[in-house]
Amino acid sequence: QVQLVESGGGSVQAGGSLRLSCAASGSIARINAMGWYRQAPGKQRELVASIFIGGSTNYADSVKGRFTISRDNAKNTVYLQMNSLKPEDTAVYYCNGLVYIVSWGQGTQVTVSS
């Protein structure tokens, strides 16, 4: 089993940047597709970015052009670079597999003020 721990969140002003990290207790090499999810108060959890073993990526329309997902299998870590942050990006961010889902971590809070 793989345990995921998210970090890097915080409070920033609109237009700022954050880099989130997702550290795995075990190897993520066996997880073909990894994704970053977020859940805002009163809303359903949504997938915002994903990355596949071949390096291809996909993004939700709401974050396209602003967020970049990457993975380092040697470090068992997935990253999410977030630029030009908007107040609507405020949420708890989680990482997990896209299809192969493991236990959810605690997430990391991102708060963007106007």
Give the pLDDT confidence of 58-103 residue by residue, as tens digits: 999 999 999 999 999 889 899 999 999 999 999 999 999 998 888 9
Contacts of residue 110, Cβ cutoff 8 Å, sequence gap at least 6:
9, 10, 12, 18, 20, 38, 82, 85, 89, 90, 91, 92, 93
Look at residue 105 and give its three-state secondary structure. coil
Residue 2 in this model has a pLDDT that exceeds 90: no
Contacts of residue 26, Cβ cutoff 8 Å, sequence gap at least 6:
1, 2, 3, 76
Task: Count CA atoms closer than 13 A to 54's CA, side-chain side.
Answer: 2
